[in-house]
Structure 1
Amino acid sequence: MTQTTRVDLLRHGECEGAQSIYRGIIDSPLSKDGWETMNKAVVSVVSDWDVIITSPKQRCRRYAMALAEDLMRPFEINSGFREINFGRWEGLTFRDVWKAEADNVKAFYSDPESNPHGGESVAQMTDRVMAAWAEILQRHRGKRILLVNHGGIMRVLLSELLSIPMTSVSKMNVPYGCLTRFSVFFDEKVSNKAVSNEAVSNEKASDGKENEQYHPMMEFHNKAG
């Protein structure tokens, strides 16, 4: 038996305040333009979601909450999808950090275990994001999900689900208001010989089913306002 779960990933819009800064745990609100960018992305697709899930950061949460109320859909906050903690780089411009510690910046983006800023490494972020991803797929199997989140989170999911090295994904442009769709196909009792870059295998799922696999497929339904 195969079940399909559809997940639409929506990045938040532009924030108030300085641009081109390390904005991870900083809880900036959306700007007026940022809100409009997200509106344009949402109206470009059929709003048939069964549930809306969001990062706790207000640049995601406030929009997701308003949309859920407007569409009369269930609404969840999931801290696993919060943006990475950039430590002492938080609030600083990319340019200033590069000038002050270029070697540390290179290390951070080339080595997932590197943590030069004292916040969170890419590897640590990846672990919590994929744990949250697995949990929502299990709990909302067969449903249509809107996940309002961050650029860093979207890059992690692209890397892990499509087996693209994070060093390559980190160079991808994920614009404000970008909406990308994944369809996830669950197969029960299937062979463990599925192609590795198309399937993630769990020896035993939380419901006790053996040899269950899910196959993520990215649909090129990428919208940005």
Structure 2
Amino acid sequence: MARVIHLLRHGHHAQLGRTLCGRMGGVVLDDIGCEEIARCAATVTPQPALIQSSPQQRCIQSASILAAHFGLPIEIVPALDELDYGEWTGRSFEDLHRDAQWSRWNRYRGSSRPPGGETMRSLQRRVVGHLERLRCDSVADTVIAVSHAEPIRAAILHYARKRLDDFLSIDIEPSSISTLSIDISGITITGINQRVPA
């Protein structure tokens, strides 16, 4: 049974805060992001048995830094993928802030969806389903799962027993670690949005 799952958000990239990247291609870590993830690798304990990653390039790049540090392979896991933002993918936040549908999405995450995209509830189901399968893994004692802000936030909301509409109550910064601890009674949150200082 997995005992510790570290949910790690990918490192910083040049489009952060400017563009809703979602699943668009070509988004890679910048030097800041690489340095942040290297600091994470040096402080994560205990030694992980498994490193998993979202299929997105920025996550694979982050996971590769960890994998090189720990001498482990990377497992690509579709369940850790970013939310599918549909028609909003690649749009600037400046542009989105003028969109009434975007405003509604950010007020009612539990009952709205991006146009042509995925609901937050669907995202939560796939992420939590994967974490529950990890919980039963007989080999992986400590796991690092590299993902994105929304999948990590969705998981934390589930285990904190909060509504999806409360998503703004949970910050998930780049290169932050949120930790789940597991025992026979279930999964407990033991850390949220923890950052390694420069």
Aligned to 2:105: 108
Identify, as 1 or 2, the structure richer in strand: 1
Q: CA deviation at 1:116?
A: 4.0
What SS does structure 2 have at the residue aligned with 1:114? coil
What SS does structure 2 have at the residue aligned with 1:9? strand
Identity of aligned residues (%): 21
Greater Rg over alpha carbons, structure: 1
TM-score by length of 2: 0.87
Q: Which runs of 4+ in 1 moved over 3 A?
A: 16-19
Aligned to 1:152: 150
Instruction: Tell me: CA distance 1:171–1:215, structure 2 relative to 1, closer, same or farther (3 Å).
Output: closer
TM-score by length of 1: 0.77
Aligned to 1:6: 4
Per-residue CA deviation, residues 172-206 of structure 1 (Å, 9 max, x unaligned), is 3211111122111124xxxxxxxxxxxxxxxxxxx
Instruction: Tell me: CA distance 1:68–1:88, structure 2 relative to 1, closer, same or farther (3 Å).
Output: same
Which blocks of at least 5 consecutive residues in structure 2 are unaligned? Answer: none
Cα contact 1:9–1:146 (8 A) shared by 2: yes
Residue 170 of structure 1 aligns with an amino acid whose one-letter code is: L
Cα contact 2:109–2:164 (8 A) shared by 1: no
Aligned to 2:13: 15
Instruction: Tell me: CA distance 1:43–1:85, structure 2 relative to 1, closer, same or farther (3 Å).
Output: same
Q: Distance in 2 between matches of 1:23 and 1:144?
A: 30
What SS does structure 1 have at the residue aligned with 2:52? strand
Instruction: Tell me: CA distance 1:22–1:96, structure 2 relative to 1, closer, same or farther (3 Å).
Output: same
What SS does structure 2 have at the residue aligned with 1:120? coil
Aligned to 1:218: 190
Instruction: Tell me: CA distance 1:181–1:137, structure 2 relative to 1, closer, same or farther (3 Å).
Output: same
What SS does structure 1 have at the residue aligned with 2:97? helix
Cα contact 2:9–2:146 (8 A) shared by 1: yes
